[in-house]
Amino acid sequence: MHLSSSSWKEIFFCVVFLFLHVLTFWMWYRIIPVIIQGDFEQYGFFIFPLVLLIFAASLFSLVVLLVQHKTLLVCVMTAAILVPFGLAFPSTYIALGVVVLNVLLMWFAVSMIRKEVAASLLYRIPKFLKHGLGFYFTAVALVLSLFYLNRIDDQKVFSILFPQQLFDFTLRAFSGTIQGATGLPPIRPEQTVNEIMTGLVRTQLQSQGIPFEKIPKQELSRLLAFQRDEFAKSYGISLGGGERIGTVFATATISKVKDMIGEYTRYLPLVAAAAFFFAFKALSIVFRWISIFLAVLLMKLLILVKVVKKEKQQIEAERLVL
């Protein structure tokens, strides 16, 4: 079967979009562990996937606007929906639900854009894409949330919900309150357990009028071990003495929270994935407008190099008359 020049152009656009779309999700799948670890100082890891996502959204827009062959459009969009799930597909009903929802969202996006084009007398790309790309980025957010869910476990969830920086800040801000409640001397989060216990023993000996410097090393070691063991028992943890006190408080707090939550701990990864979805969805508002701007530029470039041409078409309109 002989294919026209326009058909080859449509196939080319579809292939480029599908390749970029899959590459985008592959890159995001690779950086999800970095996001989970909270290592946002390595911002360079995020730039390339974000740029790819914006280009993929722009090419999606051009494919929906320019490809007229419905069978080709159905095939490429179906592949775009299903292929990313090959990277991470946990065997749960949630994943199956995400697939079904993604199919609906992608076709809502396509349908909305094409209806806007059909109903408009003027060719205004931002108007056509404004709502349709919203569905596209929602579908993207769902897939990335599934990647997130597939890579996270209970321990990582607690690290996200209770970051070490939070405990370090709390220790610095409420050092006096903690001192009064626990009997510990003023503490800094970077101090070790042995340093804190040494300060505690010094304070206790001075209150009894005993010079700290005159205590034999063996007796001091016994006193430190006793205080360390008492501290460990009160928080239900084990201590060696060299741990950072900030890390110890974080471990003790997380342990207490786990005991309180009990069996519901297994639902925390799902909660974290849902939080990631809404956070990404909020950011996608910015991505959507950048993608629309880029789609307009790409369309102008295609017109300039005569890959796309302008033509006037007659549109039939339905009216009510007497």
143-153 residue pLDDT tens: 898 888 887 77
Using the predicted structure, report yes or no on whether residue 29 has a pLDDT greater than 50.
yes
Mean pLDDT on 46-59? 90
Q: Which residue reads 């909660």 in tokens?
A: 271
Contact 110, 94 (CB under 8 A): no
Q: Rounded to whole angstroms, how far apart are CA atoms 230 and 224? A: 10
Which of 254, 231, 245, 237 shows the shortest CA–CA distance to 171? 245
Contact 192, 242 (CB under 8 A): yes
Please give the structure tokens belonging to residue 118: 């059909």
Collapsed DSSP state (helix, strand, coil) of residue 89:
coil
35 versus 41: the higher-pLDDT residue is: 35
What is the percentage of the chain residues whose pLDDT exceeds 90?
Answer: 12
Burial of 150 (0-12, 13-18, 19+ CB in 10 A): middle
H-helix segments, 67-92 = 70-82
Collapsed DSSP state (helix, strand, coil) of residue 188:
coil
Which of 138, 75, 64, 127 shows the shortest CA–CA distance to 105? 138
Using the predicted structure, report yes or no on whether residue 15 has a pLDDT greater than 70.
yes
78-127 residue pLDDT tens: 888 888 877 765 556 677 778 888 888 888 898 888 888 887 777 888 88
- pTM of the shown model: 0.72
Per the rule left: phi > 0, alpha: psi between -120 and 50, beta: everything else, 183 is left
Q: Which residue reads 């562990």 in tokens?
A: 33
Strand partners, 192: 244
Please give the structure tokens belonging to residue 301: 């470039």
Confidence of residue 1 (pLDDT cuts 50, 70, 90): very low
Collapsed DSSP state (helix, strand, coil) of residue 244:
strand
pLDDT at 177: 63
Strand partners, 244: 192
Mean pLDDT on 10-21? 89
Q: Rounded to whole angstroms, how far apart are CA atoms 158 and 150? A: 16
Contact 115, 90 (CB under 8 A): no
Q: Rounded to whole angstroms, how far apart are CA atoms 56 and 292? A: 11
Using the predicted structure, report yes or no on whether residue 267 has a pLDDT greater than 80.
no
Strand partners, 201: none
